[in-house]
Structure 1
Amino acid sequence: MMVIVSYDVNTETASGKKRLRNVSKICNDYGQRVQNSVFECLVDSTKLEEMKERLLKVYDEECDSLYFFNVGKKYENKVQSYGCKQVLDLGKPVVF
């Protein structure tokens, strides 16, 4: 299933900057960045729960936010992108 993950991490402190790096690295383990704080993740339910668990351990609920948008398995017609940033189709093989 396709899940869009979005986050906002308060970076006014050194610990906030560290949390931002950690959140970004975790999201990168499960998908691809499509905007600064937005990732597309093609995961099954087990991987989704694993990702959520990891992210919820890192973020600070007092000043950060996480959003998970479950687009589902038939996401091809639900996600449209425009502009200069090219993203990979996570459902197809990557050949360089």
Structure 2
Amino acid sequence: MRWGFVLVLITYDVNTETSDGKARLRKVAKQCVNYGRRVQNSVFECILDNAQCLMLKATLEDIIDKEVDSLRFYYLGNQYKTKIESIGVERGIKVDETLIL
């Protein structure tokens, strides 16, 4: 896969019935926060280039337990603004806007 910066929607479901599961959930969320914005509890919008996407996928795969957890990546491309409709509360800052402190 070869592309510039694109919007990737990452969703995950981590089994939290054990303390190990709760730790995995925190680690997955922490990695996703490093790359994008949380739009729902287990859903992140990330603007990534190919290298970032491959690195994040590998990191998340190393964290999860593939027997009980799951990850999904939706590649929305660089024309994502025409593909997203949001109703209700917006969480966090938009990933493609400048943050002024």
Equivalence for 1:66: 71
1:25 aligned residue (30, 35, 38): 30
> Do residues 48 (structure 1) and 53 (structure 2) align?
yes
Determine if contact 2:40/2:91 at 8 Å carries over to the other structure.
Answer: no
Q: Distance in 1 between matches of 2:91 and 2:41?
A: 14
Q: Which runs of 5+ in 2 are unaligned?
A: 1-5
Letter of the aligned partner of 2:12 in structure 1?
Y
Aligned-CA RMSD value: 1.1
In the alignment of these two chains, the number of paired residues is: 96
Q: What percent identity do the matched residue pairs reach?
A: 43
Q: Distance in 2 between matches of 1:65 and 1:85?
A: 25
Kindly provide the CA deviation profile for residues 65-89 of structure 1, in whole angstroms up to 9, marking residues without a partner as x.
Answer: 0000000011111111110234433
Aligned to 2:52, what secondary structure does the other structure show?
helix
Q: What's the CA shift for 1:91?
A: 1.8
Equivalence for 1:13: 18
TM-score by length of 1: 0.94
Q: Which runs of 5+ in 1 are unaligned?
A: none
Equivalence for 1:78: 83
Kindly provide the CA deviation profile for residues 30-54 of structure 1, in whole angstroms up to 9, marking residues without a partner as x.
Answer: 1000000000001111100010010
